[in-house]
Structure 1
């Protein structure tokens, strides 16, 4: 008799567990399907509204307008001095290569930013001395700066000059355009 009660109890518990497992499994499946159906309906409903389609088109248009790709290097030269382009976007670095300065050449490389059509202001001065170093590279990144009194991108744009003080080498000229490298901070500071 005891064996019959034990087997009956085990059998009853087993049946209860199987029924519970089946009911939980069917509940989970039905919930998942309902959630997925709800999500599908929401996505379909949102993409069909004209306002959302118009906003998506506007965002895509802005992305295309802001698409940036650096221009190819063209290496503008004055004696042993070279810059890599004639036009730069705001936020691009100007790559300056100095190669083959003779031992008696000593002076300054001066980057001059435009104030107007006829006047310039010193942006940066880089000394050089052929006795100490005859070859080197330098990066210059013109940017908005309160201390340099460059308040906005308007103060960066225009035709810049690179002057080689202490030499007879002709000046180099380049332009900073109104294009902006993505991620560049262009907020006015003054």
Structure 2
């Protein structure tokens, strides 16, 4: 009689262990799947025009915009104009293919750079990277009305002082 009881206990113990192993494997697969989806969401999707590329087409307030220039020809000489939502030139970056065929540049739109941009929400909208002196198409990008964590009160996002307030 004791042998039958031991056999039943061993069968139940084996089933429980098998169930734990299956649940563990299913959990690991689900975790791996969601980790992969999360990492895909954080990958950059480069937007290009000729040798010019930016890391994505939509940014949050306070986020850096990364630009890579790779493969400039010696005849490629000009200027990159960063155009804000109001149509003003926010920043200019010269380039010369005879001097450098590639370079990296980053910028972060902030209110301190331009008096025409009164506060952080003035940065929100459709921007353009325009190439002067060459025939490459401009690269549009958008800044959405959402701060990256930690930038809500970060530098460069404060309103322009009252005496200089153009709005």
TM-score category (smaller protein) = 0.5 to 0.7
TM-score normalised to structure 1 length: 0.58
In 2, are the aligned partners of 1:113 and 1:156 still within 8 Å (CA)? yes
In 2, are the aligned partners of 1:87 and 1:174 still within 8 Å (CA)? yes
Match in the other structure for 1:96: 67
Structure 1 Cα separation of the partners of residues 114 and 120 of structure 2:
15
| Alpha carbons of structure 1 residues 97 and 130: separation in structure 2 relative to 1, 3 Å | same
5+ residue gaps in structure 1? 1-69
Which of 137, 146, 151 aligns to 1:179? It is 146
TM-score normalised to structure 2 length: 0.66
Structure 2 Cα separation of the partners of residues 74 and 177 of structure 1:
17
Match in the other structure for 2:12: none
| Alpha carbons of structure 1 residues 78 and 174: separation in structure 2 relative to 1, 3 Å | same
Match in the other structure for 1:114: 85
Match in the other structure for 1:166: 133
Structure 2 Cα separation of the partners of residues 133 and 177 of structure 1:
33
How many Å apart are 1:188 and its aligned residue? Answer: 1.7
Deviation digits for residues 97-137 of structure 1 (CA, Å, limit 9, x no counterpart): 0000001110001100011xxxx100000000001011000
Larger radius of gyration: 1
Match in the other structure for 2:112: 145
Structure 1 position 74 matched with structure 2 position 45: yes
In 2, are the aligned partners of 1:111 and 1:160 still within 8 Å (CA)? yes
Match in the other structure for 2:96: 129
Q: Could you tell which deviates more after superposition, 176-185 or 127-136?
A: 176-185
Count of paired positions:
117
Match in the other structure for 1:37: none
Q: Could you list the structure 1 runs, at least 4 aligned residues long, displaced by more than 6 angstroms after superposition.
A: none
